[in-house]
Amino acid sequence: MIQSNVFHMVKKQGVHYLTIPAFEKTHLVHHCFSTRLGGVSQGIFKSMNLGFNRGDRSENVIQNFKVLCSAIDVDYQHLVFSDQIHEDKVRIVTHKDRGKGIVKSSDIKGIDALITNESKVPLVTFYADCVPLFFLDPVQKVVGLAHAGWRGTVKQIGKKTVDLMHRTFKSLPKDILAAIGPSIGSCCFEVDRPVVDAFRSSFDKIEQQRIILEQMNHKYTVDLWTANEIILQKAGLLKEHITKTDICTRCHSDILFSHRATAGQRGSLAAIIELK
């Protein structure tokens, strides 16, 4: 089982999921980051696969959403899915978007982040090593999720999400709570030169020293968690308002889906958040 000093591991109705203590304290949201535990899928999808596009049976994925959403008090028929193309587009969604991706077809295309200020509009983004970013403005009552793989991180999707919350809903960055969720850690995220160069073009020298770690034999690892923390602080968030994960998906691929650990033979985890 995962030991975390940052997230809570909750077991409810046979489902295990992670929650963010700083978000729980506000009593404003239902939210979770899923694990592999408690679903009905088999084989490489065992057992809580939440991806419809991975080759799993759709009825199993629906059943998994039903049990997970029941545990966190969210209506699964209201879920709003991103589609995620490793870009940096953020979309504002409303009650009119409820069910898109799960019970009806979706026009949400080319979108890696979702925000809303409406209650009972549960946002969903998908993961298997990429970085989930959770946002909650407890003052203006706004929530958001952003999918930050290395490309989304280089494109600063976290800052773009904060900026759109500010422009659209008057969220002040100093009020926004954020969480950098379970994803591949610097322990496991070895990258090639083009990825290193992309980070060098997006971060200054001092930041690079914290993000890009040179290993033996001219190999590099990248710390996506610190990179996103830097981006969120530059967007105006307070360090004490940022929950930074200590859980690497690849190190815990028995409990969390990891693309790298399985060479892509895997299901999908999900981040879910809604305003109550």
d(CA 98, CA 120): 9
**If binding is defined by CB under 5 A, does position 250 make contact with Zn ion?**
yes
Nearer to Zn ion, 156 or 183 (CB): 183
Mark out the alpha helices in 126-262 (DSSP H runs): 150-154, 157-169, 193-202, 205-211, 224-234, 259-262
Nearer to Zn ion by Cβ, of 16 and 250: the residue is 250
Q: DSSP letters of 16-28?
A: EEEE-HHHHTTT-
Q: What is the largest CA-CA distance in the chain?
A: 53
Q: Of these, 70, 200, 251, 260, which contacts Zn ion (CB under 5 A)?
A: 251
User: Phi/psi of residue 138, each to 5°?
Assistant: -75, -10
Q: Is residue 213 near Zn ion by the rule CB under 5 A?
A: no
Residue 188 touching Zn ion (CB under 5 A): yes
Least Å from the CB of residue 2 to Zn ion: 12
Give 224 or 237: the residue with its C-beta nearer to Zn ion.
224
Residues between 22 and 61 that touch Zn ion (CB under 5 A): none
When asked if residue 254 is in the footprint of Zn ion (CB under 5 A), the reply is no
Nearest distance from C-beta of residue 24 to Zn ion, angstroms: 26
How many angstroms separate the CA atoms of 135 and 164, rounded?
A: 12
Burial letters 162-191, b for 16+ CB under 10 A, else e: bbbbbeebebebebbbbbbbbbbbbebbeb
Size of the site for Zn ion (CB under 5 A): 6
Of 18, 130, 248, 272, which one interacts with Zn ion (CB under 5 A)? 248
Residue among 253, 275, 247, 251 nearest 265 (CA)? 253
* Smallest separation (angstroms) from Zn ion to the CB of 131: 13
- Is 185 one of the binding residues for Zn ion (CB under 5 A)? yes
Residues in contact with Zn ion by CB under 5 A are 185, 187-188, 248, 250-251
